[in-house]
Amino acid sequence: MRLALVSAALLFTTSVTAAEMNPEQQRWLDELAGKFELPVTELNDAITQATYQQSIIDAMTRPAEAKPWHQYRPIFLTDKRLQQGVEFWQQHAELLARAEQELQVPAQVITAIIGVETFYGAHMGSHKVLDALYTLGFNYPPRGEFFRSEFAHYLQLAKEQDWTLDEQKGSYAGAMGMGQFISSSYRHYAVDFDADGVRNLFQPVDAIGSVANYFHEHKWQPGDDVAYPAKVTDTEAADALLSPALEMSHSWAELAAAGVVVDQELAADTPVKLIRLDGVDGPEYWVVRHNFYVITRYNRSPLYAMAVYQLSEQLKQAYEQSL
């Protein structure tokens, strides 16, 4: 499958001029021009400035989220990431407290997101965003429609932010800043948290405020838990409740009736979901709640959401011990 995807991607291996556009590419540009109210000439000009990067296709076909949990977790749950996270929290304590107060998102969750995404701003990506979005939008059929949309959003964002198109660098997927916002998220959820007239997600103030705002806009429930480790007394009955859907698909009463046990008192009608992860010693079962689903709005992988949650809990404990 991977070879097939790469072979398909190699149909277009360089940036092209308007005269070299094939009919399908021209149709894509016409669609983007209509949807985003962008001149086709502007889209054409952006494409001539972009360069196809095979390394981006290669990275897209081997995401970390494809690993089992027992291999994924050690990538993000490390002593160094925890230590650096506490230092980041200490350095920006007032700012994080303000974000928590105004937007009702816990400081440890904001810190964990930035820690998982960019190691607290140390690794924000080395790919030109224009190249990444062009490569994936016009050369990666499985998700081409999504990344073409992000390509157009990036053109609009660059005008709004007064950037040159090849100025910004980010991840292989075109995500930017300390919190790794894709272009549409940058436009919709980034905030000017220091009121300097610019939404700069490459600096801590706006990055912290914007991560908090993202979670606030996706209905984070302050005071609610995220997840509980669970035991199952009837594996067959519990496994029948598993679902690839990310939404809360059951009530606690349904899980309890299937022999799921957690060390927490929950109302029978609490919306929950059961997930199973591949742990070192076998399956790990977790009962997750709405706030876990909110984390998956940032990245749709349950592995990602669990890593963020567990790092956030470690950060909270370590930070409180440092006071």
Structure-derived torsion over alpha carbons of residues 225, 277, 298, 6, reported in degrees to the nearest 10: 180
Known catalytic residue at 265:
no
Q: Length of the chain in residues, anyone?
A: 323
Query: Distance (Å, rounded) from C-alpha 321 to C-alpha 323?
Result: 6
Nearest to 276 by CA among 211, 312, 230, 209: 230
Nearest to 225 by CA among 268, 272, 260, 258: 272
Query: Distance (Å, rounded) from C-alpha 6 to C-alpha 58?
Result: 8
Structure-derived torsion over alpha carbons of residues 111, 116, 122, 125, reported in degrees to the nearest 10: -130
Catalytic residue chosen out of the listed positions 42, 87, 94, 117? 117
CB atoms < 10 A from the CB of 66, how many? 11
Nearest to 261 by CA among 242, 287, 243, 237: 287
Query: Distance (Å, rounded) from C-alpha 243 to C-alpha 38?
Result: 40
Q: Annotated active-site positions, please?
A: 117
